[in-house]
Amino acid sequence: MPEMNSAKQNRTKIPALGYAVLGLLQQKPSSGYDLRKIFSSTAMKTYSDSPGAIYPALRRLEKGGLIRGVIEEMSGLRRRQIFRLTPKGLSELRKWIQRPVKVEDLGRRDSDFMLRFAFSERVAGPAASIELLQSLAAAQSAFLPPLHQQLKTLGPLMPTSARLALEWGIQGSEAWLKWTQFAISAYEKERKGGTS
């Protein structure tokens, strides 16, 4: 086969939900139930709020030494385990956030990147956020041309609905690129007039 996606990953890969948990725990030590509430009520609905996902994920992260849970016995005898990041967990989170964006990552606009970026400032500082945005911009500029190409060559042969779907691929990516510029300039403005 010419070049199918193979990708040999070294084990211990953390899934998206795991990073979402790490990021939230860095912001505020929480129980599994706290996390479930966040995943079910806020804009982070992409991640599963089911106990069958959260609790096993917490145990995996704990076994990997990335978080540590302590049972809070204080007020009221309702058992409740609060998890916190360990230093190892923090460094793992930081490494994930600072990974450069590759063109292949851009397929889904909703994934991975936004989660990383959302956490970036808290975890690694504004400089890291800016770097991430620039890495994104670079990847994006390489992403669009092939799509235009596909539309030009295949578009006329496709049914209207299929062509329109492909056009969303383009329009959506362009909107995302605009957001990237917007975000970069927001950081530049902050740097000048900011609270520094």
Partner DNA sequence: TATGACATGTAATCTGTTACATGATTAG
Partner DNA sequence: CTAATCATGTAACAGATTACATGTCATA
Q: Is 178 in the site for its own copies (CB under 8 A)?
A: yes
Q: Is 162 in the site for its own copies (CB under 8 A)?
A: yes
Q: Is 191 in the site for its own copies (CB under 8 A)?
A: no
Q: Is 55 in the site for its own copies (CB under 8 A)?
A: no
Q: What are phi and psi of 71, to 5 degrees?
A: -80, 120
For the bound state, the minimum distance from the C-beta of residue 150 to DNA, rounded and expressed in Å, comes to 20
CA 18 to chain centre: 11
Q: Is 36 in the site for DNA (CB under 7 A)?
A: yes
Stretch that binds DNA, among 70-78, 95-103, 139-147, 168-176 (CB under 7 A): 70-78
For its own copies, the binding residue among 109, 127, 141, 188 (CB under 8 A) is 109
Half-sphere exposure of 14 (CA within 13 A, CB side): 25
Cβ-based nearer residue to DNA, 23 or 32: 32
What DSSP letter does each residue of 10-74 carry, written as one string?
-S-PPPHHHHHHHHHHHHS-B-HHHHHHHHHHSS-TTS---HHHHHHHHHHHHHTTSEEEEE--S
What DSSP letter does each residue of 169-192 carry, written as one string?
HHHHHHHHHHHHHHHHHHHHHHHH
For its own copies, the binding residue among 14, 137, 147, 155 (CB under 8 A) is 147
End-to-end CA distance of the chain: 54
Q: What are phi and psi of 86, to 5 degrees?
A: -90, 170
Q: Is 65 in the site for DNA (CB under 7 A)?
A: no
Instruction: Residue 100: name the closest of 132, 71, 60 by CA.
Output: 132
Q: Is 10 in the site for its own copies (CB under 8 A)?
A: no
Cβ-based nearer residue to its own copies, 63 or 160: 160
Cβ-based nearer residue to its own copies, 68 or 144: 144
Q: Is 57 in the site for DNA (CB under 7 A)?
A: yes
- Rounded to 10 deg, the angle between the 113-124 and 126-154 helix axes is 170
- Give contact residues for its own copies (rule: CB under 8 A): 1-5, 36-37, 40-43, 45-46, 49-50, 107-110, 114-115, 117-122, 126, 129, 147, 150, 159-162, 164-169, 171-172, 175-176, 178-179, 182-183, 186-187, 190
